[in-house]
Amino acid sequence: MSAPILPEVISKVSKLIQDENDLSNLDNIISDLSKEQSTIDSQLKIEQERHLQQIHIMISSMQSANKNLQDLKYSVGKLDELRRDNISNENNKNYQDFQVFDRSALVLKNIKEIEEVFNNISNFHQNQQVIMKLLNDEITKDENGELQYSTGDNILIVHYHLTKLRDLQDQMELMSQSSSLTDTRSIVHSLSLRLSDCIKKFDHLLSIIVDSILDFVESGNFGFLIKVVKVIQYEEREDLKVRLWNHFIEKKNNNIDNNSNLENSRQSKIKRSHERNYKENFEEMFKKSIEDRFYEMLSSKDISIFIGEQGHFYYQTISDYKIAITKCFPEEWKFFPKILEWHQNSIRKIINSILDSGEYGNQQLSQIIDLDYENKQILKQTFKISNKEIKNFRLLPEEKKKQLLNDSLKENILSTSKWMDTALDKAVNKFESLSEEPSDNRDDRLSFQVSQDVMLILSSNTKNIRTLGDASALIQYFSFFANEIMRKFQDIWVSALDKMTELWIISRITDPKIKLKMNNKSNYKINENIGYLPRYITNLSNDCLILTDALERDFDMITSGLSEINTHKLIELKQIATNHSIELGTYCLQKLSSLALQDYGPIMNDLFTKSWYKSSTIIDGVLNIIDDEYLMPFIDFSYPELLVSLFDFITDDFLLNYLKMLNFKRNFETKIIDCLERDGHKIMDILQKHDEDGSLENKMIIMDILIELISSNKDNENEFIEKWGIALSEIYDLPIDLLRIIIENKKMDKSKITFILGECSELCKQSMSGHIDQPPSIFRKFHYSPMK
C-alpha cells in the first residue's frame, strides 16, 4: 500500500531543485525519497493492525453482550412466568413476597421495548426506501394509465410498513417527552421529517385512487378498491381504540394514580398516541375530487350544461359510484348518500352562484326549476330515494323556489307596469294631441295600437311566467294584470275621454263669453283639430273590441293543461280583464253619443214650439246629424258588431232628450198628435235601417204612449189611470215623472193631478215589484225637471 505524497515532502523537493546545478544531486534525492516512503508505509501498517485489533475486540464484546442479553431475557422470562403463576395461585395471599418478580418483569418489558425501538430505528431507512419505491411504482402506473389494472398489493405492503414507522414515531415522541437528552428529541425530529414525505406520498396516491375510482369501475378491478377500503377500515378501528381509551381515561381523571396506571396500560395496548384520521381524510378526498370536476362549470355559471347528454353523464357517474360503493364499501359507512350529497352540493353551488349574481332571466330560472324537478324524479326512480329523504338532495329548496318565483313575479309585475305606463303615455298623448288626421282607409283603424301594445305586454310577460312552470305564479300575474293593469288602462283612457269630451263641448259653445268662461274653468286649450275627435274615439273603440277578443283568446289558450281549480280562477280573471276592456269600449260609444248630442241638442230645444208645429225641418236636422255624421261614418270605419251598441246609445240619448223637452212646459196645441206621429214616422224611416235587432222599434213604443197620454181627456182622471196601466204593461219601469209633466202641460187642476199621480204611483210600485229580475229600460232615467 503506497502512502500519499505529503505536502512537506513536496516542499523539500521544491527547495532542492531550483537550478540546473541541482540536477547532479537528483540520485541522492531519489534515494532519500525512497527511504521516506518506506518509513511512512511501515507506520501505516502498524496503525492499521492496531485498528483491526480494536474492531475485533468490539465485535467480541457485542457478541458477549448479546449472549448476556439473551440469557437475561430468558431469566427474566422465567421470573415473569413465576410471577404469573404465583399471582394466580389462590393459596398465596401475600403478594408483597413476589414484588421482585414484578420488578424483574418490568425490567424485561423495558429491555424488550428498547430492543424493539433499536431494531426499528436501525431498519427505518430501509423501510422508508421500500415505502417510497412501492408508492412510486403505483404512481408511475397511474402516469402510464395502468393503475386501474394494478393488483393493489403494494397498497397493503406500503400501509403495513408505514404503520410500523408511524407507531415508532408515536412511541419515540412519548419517550422524548420524558427524556432529558436533546439527542432523543433530535432523533425524533429527524424521523418525523423523513416519515412526513412517506405520509404525503401515500396520501397523494390515495387521492389519485379516489380520482380514478370510475376507471376502476370501468375495468372491473374491484379487488384493488377493496384492498384500499380494508386499509381505511383498519385505520378506522385503530382510531376508534384511541377514542375509546381517551374517553375511558377522561372518565377516570379524578384519580391521578389510577389515571397514571391507565396511561401505562394504554401504551401497552395501543401503539399510536393519537388518531390518524384516515377515514376523514379519505372522505375529504372524495368530496374534493367531486368538487374539482365541477370547477369549470362553477366558473361558467351555466346550468344548461346539465341539459341533454351532460345531464345523462352526470347521473351515469353517480350510478358508477354506487356500483363501486355497493361492491367494495362496508354497508355501515353509508357512503353512497355522502357521494350523492357531494354531487348535489356541487350543482347547488353552480345554481347559487347564478342566483346570487342576479344576472339571470326567467329562461334561466325556468331551467333551474325544471332541473330541480327532473333531478328529483330521477333520484326517486333511479336511485330509489324516498320522498322523506329527497328533501336533503333537492337542488332548490322549496322555500328558495318560492322566493325565486315571487321575485320573478315581482320583476314581471314591475316590468309590466313600466311597459304599460310607457305605452299608455304614448297612446294617450297621441289621442289628446289630435295631431294626425284620421285615415280614410278602412284597414287603418288602429291608429293608437292600444290592443297590440297591451297584448304584446301580456304575451311577453305571460311567456316569461309560464316558463317557470308554476301555476300559482301564473294565476298571481294574471290577477295583477286583470285587476290592476286593466283597471289602470281603463281609468287613464276614461280620464282622456272625459277631457276631450269637455273640449268638444266647449268648442260647440257659440256665445264667446260663455266659451271663454268654460275654457278658463277647464284649463284645457281648444285644439283646432277637435273635429277629428269622433274618429279618434271610433278608433279607440275598435281597439277595445280587438283587445277583448285577444284577451279571451289568450286566456283560453293558457287554461290548457291547468288544473280544474286554476282553470276556474283563470276564467274569473279573464272575465275581470275583458270587462275593463268592454267597459272602456262601451264608454267610447257613450262618448260618441254625447258628442252627437252636443251637435243636435241645440236643434231639439225648438221641440214643442211654434216652429216645430209648423215645420218638420227640426226633426229632420236632428236625424240628419245622427245618421250622416255619426252612424254612417261609424259603419265605414268601425266593426259591425260595435254599431249595435252605438245605435242603442244614440237612440237612447235621442229619445230621452226628446222627452226631456216636455220639461219646458210648453202648451200642447191641437196639432201635437199629428206632429208626434210625423216625428215618429221620420225617426223610423231614417234610423230603422240601422236597427238590426229591433231595439228601436221597441223603444218607439214611447211615442205611442206619449200620444195616448197627451190625447187623454183632462177632465177624466180614470182615463189617465187606465192608459198609464196599459203603458206600464209595455214599459214596466216608466217613471211617474213622465206622467206628471204631461198632466201639468195639459193645465189640469192640482187636485186632479194629485189624485192621478197617487193612483198611478201605486201602479208603478206594483209593476216594479212584478219585474224585479228584468233589466231597466232607458226611460227610467227620465226625471221631472221643469226648465225655465
At which residue does the C-alpha cell 193612483 appear? 759
Task: Looking at the structure, tell me whether residues 259 and 322 fall in a common domain.
Answer: no
Q: Are 503 and 394 in contact (CB under 8 A)?
A: no
Task: Looking at the structure, tell me whether residues 257 and 314 fall in a common domain.
Answer: no
Identify the burial level of 627 via C-beta atoms within 10 angstroms of its C-beta, where 0-12 means exposed, 13-18 middle and 19 or more buried.
Answer: middle
Predicted local confidence at residue 631, as pLDDT? 94
Task: Looking at the structure, tell me whether residues 552 and 413 fall in a common domain.
Answer: yes
Task: Looking at the structure, tell me whether residues 483 and 524 fall in a common domain.
Answer: yes
Q: Are 746 and 710 in contact (CB under 8 A)?
A: yes
**CA-CA distances (angstroms) from residue 550 to 137, 279, 453, 454?**
75, 66, 12, 10
At which residue does the C-alpha cell 255619426 appear? 630
Sign of CA dihedral 277, 280, 285, 286: positive
89, part of any domain: no
Task: Looking at the structure, tell me whether residues 366 and 414 fall in a common domain.
Answer: no
3-state DSSP call for residue 172? helix
Largest separation between any pair of C-alpha atoms in the chain: 192
CATH number at residue 496: 1.10.357.50
Predicted local confidence at residue 545, as pLDDT? 92
Predicted local confidence at residue 449, as pLDDT? 78
- Which structural domain, as residue segments, surrounds residue 346? 294-400
Within 10 A of 511 (CB to CB), how many other CB atoms are there? 9
315, part of any domain: yes
Return the ∠ at Cα 425 (arms to 420 and 430), rounded to 5°: 130
Predicted local confidence at residue 10, as pLDDT? 62
Q: Among residues 260, 281, 302, which one ends one of the domains?
A: 281
Q: Are 731 and 709 in contact (CB under 8 A)?
A: no
Task: Looking at the structure, tell me whether residues 121 and 257 fall in a common domain.
Answer: yes
Distance CA 321, CA 335 (A): 10
Predicted local confidence at residue 240, as pLDDT? 92
Q: Among residues 81, 111, 139, which one ends one of the domains?
A: 81
Q: Are 252 and 245 in contact (CB under 8 A)?
A: no
Buried b (16+ CB within 10 A) or exposed e, 22-42: eeeeeeeeeeeeeebeeeeee
Q: Count of domains in the chain?
A: 4
Distance CA 655, CA 782 (A): 10
Which among 590, 535, 553 has a CA at the least distance from the CA of 451? 553
Q: Are 509 and 515 in contact (CB under 8 A)?
A: yes
Distance CA 162, CA 546 (A): 85
**pLDDT below 70 — which residues of the chain?**
1-27, 29, 33, 47-49, 51-69, 71-73, 75-120, 122, 176-188, 252-269, 302-311, 441-447, 469, 511-525, 561, 788
456, part of any domain: yes
Distance CA 417, CA 166 (A): 71
Task: Looking at the structure, tell me whether residues 263 and 329 fall in a common domain.
Answer: no
Task: Looking at the structure, tell me whether residues 420 and 324 fall in a common domain.
Answer: no
**Angle, in degrees to the nearest 10, between helices 564-604 and 486-507:** 0
Distance CA 285, CA 266 (A): 31
At which residue does the C-alpha cell 286583470 appear? 482
Task: Looking at the structure, tell me whether residues 218 and 340 fall in a common domain.
Answer: no
Task: Looking at the structure, tell me whether residues 145 and 184 fall in a common domain.
Answer: yes
779, part of any domain: no
158, part of any domain: yes
Within 10 A of 14 (CB to CB), how many other CB atoms are there? 9
Q: Among residues 367, 400, 433, which one ends one of the domains?
A: 400
- Size of the chain, expressed as the number of residues it contains: 788
Q: Per DSSP, which regions of 242-321 are E strands?
A: none
Predicted local confidence at residue 108, as pLDDT? 55
Q: Per DSSP, which regions of 453-499 are E strands?
A: none
Predicted local confidence at residue 615, as pLDDT? 87
Predicted local confidence at residue 1, as pLDDT? 42
Which among 563, 605, 587 has a CA at the least distance from the CA of 471? 563
Task: Looking at the structure, tell me whether residues 63 and 138 fall in a common domain.
Answer: no
530, part of any domain: yes
Task: Looking at the structure, tell me whether residues 132 and 59 fall in a common domain.
Answer: no
Q: Are 448 and 539 in contact (CB under 8 A)?
A: yes
741, part of any domain: no
698, part of any domain: no
